């Protein structure tokens, strides 16, 4: 494969050739070599809370049904009737009546364990010797982790524990598995799936794309003359980016985030912090929620103890409130608290943006055979007080990504840029994209791992010594 690798598909030390985003042949190779063998998040458990519930996951021409069985376990099956190939689910999510999976074509029936219970005119098949085991539903490898159902089509997949090892401690420490549905949107985006997700792999874009979040920096970038003194305040310069084995990665700013009380504007520190966080509430309604801002304002007129800080007192107030509500929260240790406002990338297409008991999650998939389109899903999740029953996850399909009634400001600003990037990648003047060695290292790491799948050199060796300490 490598000897015939087109020049337009190459990954360089300092960039990516543009054909990886635009060539239909490259997209077909991804289906053949990546999506057919990689672990991928097929569903959230909140989609199937009750026995008999199912979720449909489509990737390319493959379809899987994720089912909640009678014993509360999760089952995953190829979405196909073994009789004539009819899809057992027509798509989307729903509930199998009477907890039976019934083919809509001829009425063949299975229980939730995938065992056949009825074949119309059974005696006409296989000389009257058709066995239930001959027509049992075909299972797909799956693992439940952190509230997700991960599936793998490979007959002998890489062990999931090895695959997830580089980021397992972070995800578990952030209580992602204890978070539940708040809202979920699916957006059709006119861009390659990699272009769409790479827009969120760095904070380098914030001054130009989200000027309301960094007004001083935005003024320098868009209007002013940069100076060393002014540029020193760019927020992305406080961000640490790390690449991990198996294509995973993360970035984080530690104490240099609004969630930790780091706000540069002059004035009342509490009001400045609340106002900054409120931009995230109004702009996303995901990682930071209205009640988080109210907790900031509850600190008004309360003295900050010697040796503490506004950020530390805010964290204490969050955890005190959560304890009173019996609401699960991330582990209160520096390496986990430092991830608030950051991002964890789970190869190949899952992004987790965590905060204080909340997280925004992105899942991006190719849309059919068109390399210029993808399906971009946003899951807003949170932990709930013990007295509150989490809602069932139901997707809202967005028809216009620029409609402020359907998509809030911050993602709308991102989606304004993403199709323009895809358009530019088709230009004869664009043979490659250039990557910043530090701020965009996760992009390069992702493509290098992608090539290991596409060239058949991806390995399943365990990752030893990985720690978030």
Q: Each residue of 213-247: pLDDT tens digit?
A: 887 777 777 777 665 555 556 666 788 999 999 99
pLDDT level of residue 207 (50, 70, 90 thresholds): confident
What's the whole-model pTM score? 0.92
147: left (phi over 0), alpha (psi -120 to 50) or beta: left
Number of H helices, E strands in the chain: 13, 20
Residues of the chain with CATH 3.90.380: 166-203+239-454
pLDDT level of residue 4 (50, 70, 90 thresholds): confident
Q: Which 3 state secondary structure label does DSSP give 124?
A: helix
> What pLDDT score does 459 carry?
54
Determine whether domain 166-203+239-454 maps to CATH 3.90.380.
yes
Mean pLDDT of 429-442: 94
> What pLDDT score does 3 carry?
56
Q: How close are the terminal C-alpha atoms of the chain, in Å?
A: 39
Tokens 């990557």 locate to 435
Q: Which 3 state secondary structure label does DSSP give 298?
A: coil
Strand order in the sheet with 116-118: 100-102, 109-111, 116-118
Q: Each residue of 59-111: pLDDT tens digit?
A: 999 999 999 999 999 999 999 999 999 999 999 999 999 999 999 999 999 99
> What pLDDT score does 213 carry?
85
**Rounded Cα gap, residues 341 and 296, in angstroms:** 16
pLDDT at 288 over 60: yes
Residues of the chain with CATH 2.102.10.10: 40-157
Q: Each residue of 368-416: pLDDT tens digit?
A: 999 999 999 999 999 999 999 999 999 999 999 999 999 999 999 999 9
CA 190 vs CA 133, 187, 256, 398: distances in Å: 44, 10, 34, 13
Mean pLDDT for all residues in the chain = 92
The matching CATH number, chosen from 3.80.10.10, 3.55.50.30, 1.10.150.240, 2.102.10.10, for 40-157 is 2.102.10.10
Is residue 219 within 8 A of residue 231, CB to CB? The reply is: no
Which DSSP helix (H) or strand (E) runs through 315? helix 310-325
The number of C-alpha atoms within 13 Å of 65 and in the hemisphere containing its C-beta is: 28
């Amino acid at each position: 494969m490598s000897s015939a690798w087109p020049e337009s598909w190459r990954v360089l030390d300092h960039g990516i050739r543009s054909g990886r985003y635009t060539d239909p042949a490259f997209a077909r190779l991804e289906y053949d070599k990546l999506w057919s063998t990689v672990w991928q998040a097929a569903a959230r458990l909140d989609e199937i809370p009750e026995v008999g519930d199912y979720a449909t996951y489509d990737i390319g021409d493959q379809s899987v049904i994720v089912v909640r069985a009678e014993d509360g376990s999760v089952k995953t099956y190829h979405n196909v009737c073994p009789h004539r190939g009819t899809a057992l689910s027509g798509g989307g999510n729903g509930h199998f009546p009477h907890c039976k999976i019934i083919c809509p074509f001829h009425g063949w029936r299975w229980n939730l364990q995938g065992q056949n219970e009825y074949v119309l005119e059974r005696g006409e098949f296989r000389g009257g010797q058709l066995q239930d085991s001959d027509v049992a539903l075909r299972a797909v490898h799956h693992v439940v982790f952190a509230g997700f159902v991960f599936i793998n089509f490979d007959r002998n997949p890489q062990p999931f524990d090895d695959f997830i090892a580089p980021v397992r401690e972070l995800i578990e420490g952030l209580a992602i598995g204890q978070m539940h549905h708040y809202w979920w949107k699916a957006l059709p985006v006119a861009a390659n799936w990699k272009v769409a997700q790479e827009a969120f792999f760095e904070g380098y874009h914030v001054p130009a794309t989200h000027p309301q979040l960094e007004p001083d920096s935005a003024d320098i970038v868009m209007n002013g003359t940069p100076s060393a003194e002014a540029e020193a305040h760019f927020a992305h310069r406080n961000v640490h980016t790390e690449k991990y084995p198996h294509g995973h990665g993360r970035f984080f700013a530690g104490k240099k985030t609004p969630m930790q009380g780091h706000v540069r504007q002059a004035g009342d520190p509490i009001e400045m912090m609340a106002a900054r966080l409120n931009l995230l509430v109004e702009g996303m309604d995901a990682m930071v929620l209205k009640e988080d801002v109210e907790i900031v304002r509850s600190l008004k007129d309360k003295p900050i103890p010697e040796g503490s800080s506004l950020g530390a007192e805010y964290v204490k107030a969050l955890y005190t409130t959560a304890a009173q509500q019996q609401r699960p929260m991330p582990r209160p240790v520096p390496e986990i608290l430092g991830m608030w406002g950051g991002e964890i990338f789970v190869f190949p297409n899952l992004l987790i943006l965590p905060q204080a008991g909340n997280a925004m999650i992105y899942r991006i998939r190719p849309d059919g055979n068109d390399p210029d389109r993808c399906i971009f899903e946003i899951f807003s999740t949170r932990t709930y007080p013990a007295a509150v029953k989490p809602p069932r996850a139901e997707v809202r399909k967005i028809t216009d990504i620029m409609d402020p009634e359907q998509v809030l400001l911050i993602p709308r600003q991102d989606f304004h840029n993403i199709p323009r990037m895809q358009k530019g990648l088709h230009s004869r003047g664009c043979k490659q994209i250039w990557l910043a060695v530090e701020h965009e290292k996760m992009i390069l790491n992702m493509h290098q791992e992608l090539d290991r799948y596409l060239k058949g050199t991806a390995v399943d060796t365990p990752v030893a010594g990985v720690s978030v300490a």
